[in-house]
Amino acid sequence: MATFANVRCSFLPKVPQTFADLGISESLVLDLMLRRMVIEGFSSMTGLSRSIRVSLPIVDMVFKHMRQQQLVEIKGMSGNDYQFVLSAAGKQLASERFQVSQYAGACPVSLNEYHAATKSQSARISVDRRLLRQAFSDLVVSDKMLDQMGPAIISQTSIFVYGPTGNGKTSLAERMLRVYQDAVMIPYAAEVDNQIISVYDPVVHHPVDHEDTDVDPRWILCKRPCIVVGGELIPSMLELRLDESSGIYAAPLQMKANNGILLIDDFGRQLMSPRDLLNRWIVPLDRRVDYLTLRYGIKFQIPFELMVVFSTNLEPSDLADEAFLRRIHNKIYVEAVDSGAFDQIFSRVVASRNISAEADSAEYLRKLCLRDGRAELRACYPADICNILLAIGRYEGRPPQMTKPELERAAALYFARS
């Protein structure tokens, strides 16, 4: 595994110098150069190389073809670099290619290379209770819970996290990403049947700085992704989405989450029914591959190298049948907290909010939380109640107070009457 400074990465593609190494047709690179030249107006060899992220030798090969076809007009030289614009014939061809697609970014990688890269970067985790304790250090987590999560994370398959609401299921799932100690290469785009699929998404992919000019610039080094999707999930988010105006496909969620984590939060409360989602993924979860379809019917395979985490406060048997649950090997029940854990959470929250509390505040809050027939303590109660105390203080123009009357007041606002 290679290292960029303090970042490890198992896949470091070299800069392609020929079309055989590039894995992409010359006609596709020609289209990219034509579109870039329309955008830039006045172009150079080094500028195009930087814009479409391919080496100068490849740009030079395409440029020679363009000169032979009289698609460019040379306007001068800057050192050893040509300065040029599109000819009338070049503008005509560029206009035609813009009708097909408006993509003018980084040259895509081939589907075969994307397959190989994703497989080679599949996570190989080695953790124990001590390392997990560090990863979840900002949460109050029992050894019993860590000992369930450890093997589940090492398996890198799928995890079903369930239990009563408000006990940290989502927080646990989001922090699983901390166990990864490396980074992955993600392509800006991939090519399938001369169609461009945009893969890199700055909203969910977080780049890692590195300086290695020998690495193929069509790839960007990122932290392993963690994508969280909740009630907004609909079937179209799991399929290729074509932007009709630009002619560019957007990768689905599971493709963007490859080599990382996809958290389905509040599973069972999506606009997409649990049955539809489970039927859609029963094969990917089992075989680690998924199938996508271009608009005109071409179907192709992509890797499904991600850890899917389903988080829900509903009963698993109410959401999925036995055939699907069998494919989720790890099922972790997050139970309500006991008094000791509740008090630990309370102490951390009070300290982080900088609220001065009476000595028996935690015990008194526990009693308030168990009043009116409530039978369980929830991990979310201390933070939620403290937030209300802070709001009361701001409303009344004073520092927050944690006295018994104030806790009674906050609890009355927080708990619905039965």
pLDDT in tens, 214-262: 899 999 999 999 999 988 899 999 999 999 999 999 999 999 999 999 9
Concatenate the DSSP letters of all residues of 314-344 into one string.
S-HHHH--HHHHHH--EEEE-PPB-HHHHHH
Question: b/e map of 65-76 (b: 16 or more CB within 10 Å)?
Answer: ebeeeebbeeee
pLDDT at residue 7 greater than cutoff 90: no
pLDDT in tens, 72-119: 999 988 888 889 999 999 999 999 999 999 999 999 999 999 999 999
pLDDT for res 306: 95
Say if residues 221 and 7 touch (Cβ distance below 8 Å): yes
Label residue 2 by pLDDT band (50, 70, 90): very low
pLDDT for res 373: 85
246 with 310, same domain: the answer is yes
The phi and psi torsions of 311 (rounded to 5 degrees) equal -120, 125
Interaxial angle between packed helices 381-396 and 339-353, expressed in degrees from 0 to 180 and rounded to the nearest 10: 30
Q: End of a domain among 299, 333, 367? A: 333
**Any domain includes 129:** yes
pLDDT for res 269: 84
CATH code of the domain covering residue 120:
3.40.50.300
pLDDT at residue 1 greater than cutoff 60: no
d(CA 177, CA 262) in angstroms, rounded, equals 10
Mean pLDDT of 269-277: 84
d(CA 53, CA 34) in angstroms, rounded, equals 14
Q: Which residues contact 231 (CB under 8 A, 6 or more apart)?
A: 266, 269, 270, 271
Beta strand ranges found along 145-188 (DSSP E): 158-162, 183-187
d(CA 291, CA 111) in angstroms, rounded, equals 13
253 with 371, same domain: the answer is no
206 with 159, same domain: the answer is yes
Q: Token pair of 106, please?
A: 């980084």
d(CA 107, CA 189) in angstroms, rounded, equals 7
Q: End of a domain among 87, 107, 127? A: 107
Interaxial angle between packed helices 26-40 and 45-52, expressed in degrees from 0 to 180 and rounded to the nearest 10: 110
Residues spanned by the domain of 67: 25-107
159 with 227, same domain: the answer is yes
Please give the model's pTM, rounded to 2 decimal places: 0.88
**Any domain includes 3:** no
SS3 assignment, position 203: coil
Say if residues 379 and 166 touch (Cβ distance below 8 Å): yes
Query: What's the sign of the alpha-carbon dihedral 264, 156, 198, 2?
Result: positive
pLDDT at residue 157 greater than cutoff 90: no
Amino acid at 154: I
Q: End of a domain among 273, 298, 333? A: 333
CATH code of the domain covering residue 356:
1.10.8
pLDDT at residue 368 greater than cutoff 90: yes
Amino acid at 198: S
Which residues, listed in sequence order, are joined to residue 222 by a DSSP beta bridge? 184, 207
96 with 172, same domain: the answer is no
Nearest 10 degrees: Cα torsion 29, 33, 39, 40 = 140
Mean pLDDT for the chain overall: 91
236 with 183, same domain: the answer is yes
Which residues, listed in sequence order, are joined to residue 333 by a DSSP beta bridge? 162
319 with 394, same domain: the answer is no
Q: Which residue has the higher pLDDT, 75 or 212?
A: 75
